[in-house]
Every structure is written in structure tokens, then in C-alpha cells.
Structure 1
């Protein structure tokens, strides 16, 4: 397992995105807990959640509570696990997502998340998405207040452009430690944000890091085929999943990159975690770098 840093905290280079354990099509609790435990067994020390990761109305915090229960039931040491959560979005239960970035809401949400996670202070609290109805400085200012109050130990921002990163950095200083934007082999619109995060020493946690990579692209009537992109072909040559190749490639994009692939089965996160030990050759990287985004 490789390790990287988020602020002053060392974490595994590949984390666990816990959202699939609580949203539509989620597994039962036994399998969900087994998935978290499999991640820990594989050396994963970063778990990404949010108060809005749930399915039905009235379930706010479902994923946070699930992660807390899974950690409490784990037989090993979890003191080195960083749980990152997010606030500022909601799910009414009809499949839609809302955004609320008022300082009052964010401070209430953070305190509720802290209680659900059962911690004295949240290790990493991320503003889930800018609210167009609220000045960005006001929303980020709430994170500053949460840091000063000791409710959270570090702050992050998500779904942001470079201007918002710079403004948040000016307000939060060393308290800002991460940026979480969409980034994958198929979606690379956040290249400027990745470069700026690297420059400022902020961890970059790509959400949906496996976008454009489907395991079925390797499945033919006689087993693995050469169909799909270079990611699938390199995977077939290596005898590993295309997901592993995609994650290993992401890790080469920047030392700030820490992908958090989602998983709803133990085997999935175990496979993803192995990407942190997979070294790609210069020739393989050249082939993968040449694949255009979708």
C-alpha cells in the first residue's frame, strides 16, 4: 500500500467511497459492514462519506451511522482511520439533490455529523457544493468557525473551480487540506483544479474516479478480450481489472491525488486497494495518457 497525506494526516493512497452502501440499490447491512471491514483489512485508512448519502426521505446521516457502526464492530485498530464527511447537500427522497450553504445550516450539519460519527471532532469536513444563493466567503467562513470551535480538525471543499479554491485557501489557510472534484479517465475537466491543488499542497480526492471504466468491457464469450480502451487492454495484459489500472494511472497524475472509489462488495474494494501497489511502466503510461477523455 502506498501512502499519501491530507494536511498532517497520512492515509492510504486509495480510499473507500462509502456512498454505494447507503443510496439506491444499497446492499444489506451485513454486506455493507463486510465491505468496510474488507477495506480496513486491505490497508485502506480513508473512508469518504456525507450526511446526504442516503436513499429515502428521513434517512439523513444513514451512511455516517453505517460507517460508525462498521468501525465500532471491527476487531482491529481503527485509530489511524480518517473518516471524511461532507455537508451542504440534501436528498428529499425523490432522487433529487438540494444545496444549502448557509453558515447556520453548515454549522448545524457538522455538529449532527460529529454526533453520528461518535467522535470528539470530525477528522475532515468538506463543503459538498457551492450554494449559488449564498456568498462563497460566507459558506467557507462557516468552516473557519467550525475549525476554531474544534468541531472539525480540517476542512475541504468539493465541486469547485480554481477561483473558489484560491478564495477558500485565503480564508482557511492551513485549515484547508483537500479538494474533491469529479475526475477520471473519462472526465478530466478538473485538470486546472488538480494542478492548483498540487501547487497549494492540498489533497485532491476525485469523486467517481472509475468513470468510463466498465468491467464488462473485458468480458467476451471466451473470457477476456482486447475490447475497450487502452485501460482494458493493459489490464488484460497484466491480468488485473481495468479498475486497478485506472486507479494506478490516477495515482501517477499527481502526488496530491487520492482516489476514493465507491464499493458495495468486499471484493470490489479489495481489488481497488491493490491498485496502490501496482506500478505502471513508462510504456504503459504513454498508452494510457494517450486515451482521450469522453
Structure 2
């Protein structure tokens, strides 16, 4: 008999997520059937779309789902032997039963364990795939062009900046704290602005006097508008996220961006994390090569304890993370 703990959505979000929005329930899992295997969760990815209703589609009482690394501890599937580790999208639980399929279109995959397990939720996983394809396919930067990244110290943003440098671009990151600014400078960013204390419009005009070529946006809102004002003609914008809007009950009123788009001939593309297995495999091979060559450096914020999932989610919204935030169980 296996007793599993799981997180459910218990009260409606109001502002930044709180512990009271979640509840831990216990459930007894049934015996596994032929073709199934039992997973013991080891690491859980903290992803902000859980808070954003249009993406999460959560209703009160729903189980929270999350990308995770888990160990196969019992198996009736020849494809998933006992002792191997998998990455998949499952209920946010201490144990899960699977037949190899994941929620939505995210594949369950065995990992090779060449690196620390948590890395497969960060640089060797979907975070890098999002950064790599978002930048190379949607911004399509050319050598010596200027790239600006919001939420640059996050799990995706710090990778985008390093990819930009590998491609020979000038990289400007925006973040919220001095500690993060120093860290990003250490990763090779050419310039880092603290959007809380710096005059963003003024500083961007000085750092990119001919304008910004590529804008990788994780935030949206007023900050993104200021950056768009400094775009050059034929600039490209990849919209990865809109975290500035997640915790608001109203849509902020901003000046229209249409004149900028039409006069500067801007291209704006919204995109999501690529889920195709072949894309993930290609980006992971690229990340591993760059990592081994010393071109790519990463850092994760690891928080111990399954029960700390809500606090970890809150900490990211409060800007307390460096790189990807992950729960260790």
C-alpha cells in the first residue's frame, strides 16, 4: 500500500499565490496494472503558468500538475525498469502511477543521469528549449545585433542571454535586484539594468543608440512598452510570458502599441514551450555541448520539502530566485 500526498487548488487566487490557495491531501494508490509503473517524485519544477488562469484552467478542488523528475520504484512495463529516472508532467504528488503517457502533449522520457537530476528540469530540459527556440526561431538574431531580455535572471531569461552571447550579439538584461544584476554580469551579459531603480527608457537609449533589434519578453505591461519604444526599424519581438499580468484582477491600460508596430515595421510573435520530442532532444544536445565547452553556465534555486511548493511559487513572483526554481523532495 502506497500513501501519496498531493496538492490541490483549494481557494481562489487573489494577488500573489499564498499557502492558503493550496491544500495537501492524502490518497491511497491502487496496485499497478500491466504496462504501468510506480513513480517516487524527486524534483518538481516551479512554473508560473499555474497562477495564470487562461493557461492553468484551474478550478477549485483540481489537482495541481507539474513537470517533475521521478524514480521508477515498481514496474510492470519493460520500457520503464525499476531504478530508472523519468521526466514527465504529472500530478504534484509524492507518488504517481503512470503507463508512460503524460498530461497534455508533454512526453514522458527516461533521462540519462549523466548530470545532477535537477538539471533536467532546467538547462537540460524545457527551460533551455524555450530559450533556444524562442530566440533563434522567433527573434532570429544576427551577429552584433542588440537583444533585450526581461526577467533576465529567471529560469529562461538567463539562458536566452547566454545563447545571445554565443551567437555574437550584444545582450542587455533587465531584472529587479542588485544581486541578480551582478550574477548576470558574471554570466557575460554586456549590460544589466535594475528596472526598479534605473530609468529604463533613458538607459536603453544610451546603451542601444541605434535601437534594439530583438526583444525577448517574459513580463509584458509597462516595462515592455518602454522597451518597445526603443526598438529599431524591423525589430523582432518574441513574447514568452506576461508575468506582470498574472496577479492582477484588471488589465492595465497602456498607450497603444499599434503606431510603433506600423511605423517601425515590428514583428511580434507569441510562442510557447516547444513540446515536440525531436526539438527537445536537439536543444538538449546543444545545451550539453555548450555546457561541457564552458559556454553555458547555470544556477538553480533549490528549495527542500514537498510542502514548500506554495512558498516556492510565491518566492518566484517576489523575485527571490536566481535561475530556475525547483522543489527537492
Task: Give TM-score scaled by structure 2 length.
Answer: 0.27
Higher strand proportion (structure 1 or 2): 2
